[in-house]
Copies of this chain bind each other. A is one copy, B any other.
Amino acid sequence: MKNKERIPTMKDVAAEAGVALGTVSKVFNGFPVGESYRIRVEQAAKKLGYRVNNYARGMRTNRTNTISIIMPMICHPFFSKLTECIIRELDSHNYNTFVSVTDRNPKAEARCIRMVAQNKTDGIIALTYDPDFNNIGNIPFVSIDRSFTGSCPCITSDNYTGGQIAAAKLHELGCRKLLYARTGSPVPGETDKRGYGFENWCQTNSVSYDIINAKVDNDQMIEKIREMVENGTFDYDGIFCSTDLLLILIRNELNRLGIRIPEDVQMIGFDGSIDFYTGLPVCSSIEQPIEQLAKVAVNTILNYDSENTPSLICLPVRYIPGPTTKDWI
């Protein structure tokens, strides 16, 4: 509550630090200055209780040094790691990060966009399932896992190759009849390509396969699997699942029905989830390069150029063995 009547200015900071006004300006605007100058300016600013008036600056330069990220949820191994990596990467560029959680709720997403626009964020990195999400005006926008037909860059794992790798690995491990099990949003997304890559490999290599595609509903998927086992039509020895979570749910159901994993059926998921408590893979999986996804998304939004940005950037994935295939020791 000291200095309530007299708000310190940049000039006061310069005088206190014994440096030129331009040096103070550089420090507060993130330009390079000698480390000793930076420390003197920061100490002077702290002593005087000086704060950069970012609102005034926002009006002048129309840059806020903030990016918004939109996630369907955070309380989830893949999304929490992706969120953390994006925040850390933005932080390393001296950017602040707004985070919104929308949980596959288009209304909440629309509200986020409105709030984002009102706060004049410099851009949005979004993982969203809203079919109308496209319509966000002129804000720089980077999508993760969902392509908006060329209207903005999409950063994603190489899902197609991941599907191919999974099919090839199951076959290599001795599986002869494969199943692809997929749940998720009915909105078309890049993750659909996991199935297409899988299908392509099976067709090219004349391997027998089926596909079960349950829109969103995991319970529905479990129900189908159970029916097949109970009426004797479940004759697969290899299953590729669209996510690690789905794999665990199906594995638990198969175990309950007396089918052993990986002895009777081998399974590969997608995500590369590591158990938080043990540090071990949750299951055999196609690993998403989460840190690279974050780095490329941040790099793309900070150097946004709507004319010269690729519409789709796919990052390489790899197979990691886990306890649901026979190559796990």
Contact = CB atoms under 8 A, between A and B. Distances in A.
A249 B279 CA distance: 10
Given A1-B138, A108-B91, A55 B59 contact: yes
B119 A96 contact: yes
Contact of A98 (B58, B88, B97, B277): B97
A47 to B, nearest CB: 11
Interface in A35-83: 42, 49, 51-56, 58-59, 64, 66, 68, 73-77, 80-81, 83
B99 A55 contact: no
B244 A137 contact: no
Contact of A244 (B111, B118, B277): B277
Interface residues of A, number: 55
A288 to B, nearest CB: 14
Contact of A91 (B81, B100, B116, B276): B100
A117 interface: yes
8 contacts: A49-B137, A51-B137, A54-B119, A55-B56, A74-B84, A75-B81, A76-B276, A249-B277
B74 A80 contact: yes
Interface string A78-110: 001101100110010010111111000000100
A245 interface: yes
Tell which of A49, A74, A100 has the most Cβ of chain B within 10 Å.
A74
Q: Which 5 A-B pairs have the closest CB atoms?
A: A80-B80, A55-B58, A248-B277, A74-B84, A52-B118
A101 B96 contact: no
A149 interface: no
Contacts of A94: 115
B74 A96 contact: no
A303 interface: no
A278 interface: yes
